[in-house]
């Protein structure tokens, strides 16, 4: 169905989007994403890691935005800046990616996207819309680049010349034939390789290619199993996500950030104490992270990463929490605690007590992977 576009509609959309709290918008055509063939080739290499199954299952849908909204002709891409500054903190910390410091952005942006969709349907009766946030098979970065909201950098992040990369994307699909915006015609990364050089786990085999099997963000959020031993030391104290490749990006030096209350650190702390986390049972985990993106890591993933963080920063005062984790119901957490205590032994920290704890667990452990970690730690 063809609609007559009311005069000044796009300006009104921009004004309403700003009123709702979006930072910027651009409009792209609802065509197949330009990098879909490269995406399929990337999947075929196995570099998607823990996300491979989901991405492969929805790859056909991802090839055409009309699979999400039949008759879609344009996509309004919306950027929302989040927190950019890191508050000072003290003591042992588990680092969390900036976007997850506050409430779950999915809830906030989905509500805003749905509100903008309802406004547009009221402005043009009979039109169809659908707002999506990061959970539908849509190549958001491709369409945001088409809409002029930035270029895809060497770290695979979308980078805006005036806002860096500390922002989140929302897409509003519609069957209205809105005038499209022009993409940026310059790759502003130039010869810079700061992001590639700084990645602790060397997760970029080449510019704009991510090996999610090595990416700290993918490992701490999407992978809830055992992490390869050779990667654990490089993960340092990151326990949910990672901002390293963005922290070193020159375009983020003047990122605007956001005062949105939902993005501010819960309790005023941008980091989490790994020791506190290892005391959480299933109910405590649900209560602590209700309404937070951190729940995506699941309890076993978050506590596993917390144990790794303590292993990377030996502190005899945390012996009790690692000993407690050795008896956790989740084998993945027990294995991580055993590895961490092995790091302590190697570093000469609380050696006798760590060995005693490991030996006590070995006497009763039945899981072969956990037993292997204990044996390696004692060795």
Split the chain (379 residues) into runs of 10 and give each run's mean pLDDT: 83 98 98 96 96 94 96 98 75 86 97 98 97 94 98 98 97 97 92 98 98 98 97 97 97 94 90 96 97 97 98 94 97 98 97 97 97 97
Does residue 231 lie within any of the structural domains?
no
User: At which of 156, 174, 192 does a domain end?
Assistant: 174
The predicted pLDDT at position 1 comes to: 60
User: At which of 155, 174, 193 does a domain end?
Assistant: 174
Does residue 248 lie within any of the structural domains?
no
Tally Cβ neighbours within 10 Å of residue 56.
13
d(CA 59, CA 154): 23
Three-class SS state of 239? strand
Does residue 61 lie within any of the structural domains?
yes
* Burial of residue 366 (number of CB atoms within 10 Å: 0-12, 13-18, 19+): exposed
Does residue 193 lie within any of the structural domains?
no
* CA 340 to centroid of chain Cα atoms: 25
164 lies in the same domain as 283? no
Does residue 132 lie within any of the structural domains?
yes
Please, are residues 314 and 285 in contact by the beta-carbon 8 Å criterion?
no
161 lies in the same domain as 306? no
The residues that are catalytic are 134
Report the alpha-carbon angle 218-222-227, nearest 5. Answer: 70
Tally Cβ neighbours within 10 Å of residue 19.
12
13 lies in the same domain as 139? yes
d(CA 271, CA 18): 30
The predicted pLDDT at position 187 comes to: 87
The predicted pLDDT at position 268 comes to: 83
**CA-based nearest residue to 364, from 321, 319, 334, 320:** 334
Q: Which range of residues forms the domain containing residue 97?
A: 9-174
170 lies in the same domain as 280? no
Q: What is the DSSP string of 256-270?
A: -----GGGSPGGG-S
Close Cβ partners of 324 (under 8 Å, ≥ 6 residues apart): 278, 279
Does residue 355 lie within any of the structural domains?
yes
Does residue 227 lie within any of the structural domains?
no
The predicted pLDDT at position 126 comes to: 95
Does residue 157 lie within any of the structural domains?
yes
The predicted pLDDT at position 135 comes to: 85
d(CA 245, CA 198): 6
User: At which of 122, 151, 174 does a domain end?
Assistant: 174
50 lies in the same domain as 164? yes
Share of the chain residues as helix, strand and coil, in percent rounded to the nearest 5: 45, 10, 45
21 lies in the same domain as 166? yes
50 lies in the same domain as 168? yes
Domain count, the chain: 2
Tally Cβ neighbours within 10 Å of residue 26.
23
């Amino acid at each position: 169905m063809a609609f007559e576009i009311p005069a000044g509609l796009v300006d009104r959309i921009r004004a309403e989007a700003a009123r709702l709290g979006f930072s910027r918008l651009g409009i792209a055509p609802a065509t197949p994403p330009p990098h879909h063939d490269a995406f399929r080739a990337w999947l075929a290499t196995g570099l998607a890691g823990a996300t491979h199954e989901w991405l492969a299952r929805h790859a056909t849908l991802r090839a055409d935005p009309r699979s999400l909204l039949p008759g879609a002709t344009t996509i309004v891409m919306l950027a929302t800046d989040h927190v950019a500054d890191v508050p000072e903190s003290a003591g042992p910390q588990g680092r969390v990616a900036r976007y997850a410091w506050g409430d779950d952005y999915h809830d906030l942006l989905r509500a805003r996207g749905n509100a903008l969709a309802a406004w547009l349907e009221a402005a043009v009766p009979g039109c169809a819309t659908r707002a999506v946030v990061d959970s539908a098979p849509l190549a958001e970065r491709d369409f945001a680049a088409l809409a002029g909201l930035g270029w895809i950098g060497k770290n695979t992040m979308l980078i805006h010349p005036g806002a860096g990369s500390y922002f989140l994307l929302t897409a509003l699909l519609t069957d209205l034939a809105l005038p499209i915006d022009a993409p940026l015609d310059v790759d502003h990364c130039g010869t810079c390789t700061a992001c590639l050089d700084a990645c602790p786990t060397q997760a970029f085999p080449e510019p704009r290619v991510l090996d999610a099997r090595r990416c700290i963000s993918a490992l701490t959020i999407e992978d809830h199993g055992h992490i390869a031993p050779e990667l654990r030391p490089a993960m340092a104290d990151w326990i949910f996500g990672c901002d390293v490749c963005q922290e070193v990006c020159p375009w983020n030096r003047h990122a605007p950030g956001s005062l949105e209350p939902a993005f501010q650190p819960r309790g005023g702390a941008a980091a989490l104490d790994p020791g506190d986390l290892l005391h959480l049972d299933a109910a405590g985990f649900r209560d602590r992270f209700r309404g937070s993106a951190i729940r995506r890591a699941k309890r076993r993933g978050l506590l596993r990463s917390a144990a790794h963080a303590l292993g990377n920063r030996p502190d005899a005062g945390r012996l009790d929490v690692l000993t407690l984790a050795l008896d956790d119901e989740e084998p993945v957490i027990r294995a991580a605690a055993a590895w961490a205590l092995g790091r302590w032994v190697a570093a000469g920290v609380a050696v006798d007590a760590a060995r005693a704890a490991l030996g006590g667990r070995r006497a009763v452990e039945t899981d072969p992977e956990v037993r292997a970690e204990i044996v390696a730690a004692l060795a």
